[in-house]
């Protein structure tokens, strides 16, 4: 199969998973939000299809989900998530591509690095968006950034640290992801 067509098909599948996965986790909204369900397919896309596809899937998925299902709210949630998830998808794909040996260590280094980069991008995007909305809505503080971006995300971070390397290992064993070294 043509590589470009394969990446396009897989990217479309990751968008679909990103649209549907929150339906499973959002049955209990307090728990679903903590698990960050849209992050997983975006990060997998970046690892499997590369940085440009990861960026596109990351940017499109929260906006499309907001337009189709009104969840998350388009502004500022989905808009901020679009930048965050685009950063995750791009960063994980780029960093992973720098490794000659595509092993579990490469997945973890790429994953953890992209988590940090994505959260910083989310904080910057939210700061800019709330700043543009006027001073009465600019309640995005450094404390809120750390609480919402890191502390409240701990269950999702743990889930991603367990699931993504396990899925990548299974996909490599099945011949569906790149094996080197």
pLDDT at residue 73, as a whole number: 87
Give 56-76 pLDDT, tens digit per residue: 999 999 999 999 999 888 988
At residue 181, does pLDDT exceed 50? no
Question: What's the CA gap between 123 and 32, in Å, rounded?
Answer: 21
> Lowest mean pLDDT: which of 19-33, 41-55, 85-99, 153-167?
19-33
Q: How confident is the model at residue 83 (pLDDT cuts 50, 70, 90)?
A: very high
For the domain made up of 37-173, the CATH class stated in words is mainly alpha
Question: What are the sequence ranges of the domains in the chain?
Answer: 37-173
For residue 42, pLDDT over 90 is answered with yes
Residues recorded for the chain:
181
Report whether pLDDT(7) > 90. yes
Instruction: Give the pLDDT of residue 180.
Output: 44
The residue with greater pLDDT, 161 or 33, is 161
Note the pTM of the prediction, 2 decimals: 0.89
C-alpha 48/C-alpha 57 separation (Å) is 12
In this predicted structure, what is the pLDDT of residue 11?
Answer: 97
């Amino acid at each position: 199969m043509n590589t470009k067509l394969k990446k396009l098909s897989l990217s479309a599948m990751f968008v679909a998973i990103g649209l549907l996965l929150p339906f499973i986790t959002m049955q209990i909204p307090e728990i679903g939000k903590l698990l960050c369900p849209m992050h997983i397919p975006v990060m997998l896309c970046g690892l499997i299809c590369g940085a440009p596809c990861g960026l596109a899937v990351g940017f499109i998925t929260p906006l499309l989900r907001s337009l189709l299902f009104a969840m998350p709210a388009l502004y500022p949630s989905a808009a901020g998530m679009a930048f965050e998830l685009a950063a995750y998808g791009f960063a994980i794909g780029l960093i992973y591509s720098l490794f000659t040996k595509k092993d579990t260590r490469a997945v973890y280094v790429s994953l953890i690095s992209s988590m940090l980069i994505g959260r910083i991008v989310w904080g910057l995007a939210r700061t800019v968006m709330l700043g543009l909305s006027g001073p009465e809505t600019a309640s995005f503080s450094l404390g809120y950034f750390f609480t919402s971006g890191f502390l409240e995300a701990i269950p999702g971070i743990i889930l991603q640290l367990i699931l993504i390397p396990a899925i990548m290992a299974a996909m490599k064993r099945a011949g569906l992801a790149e094996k080197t070294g």
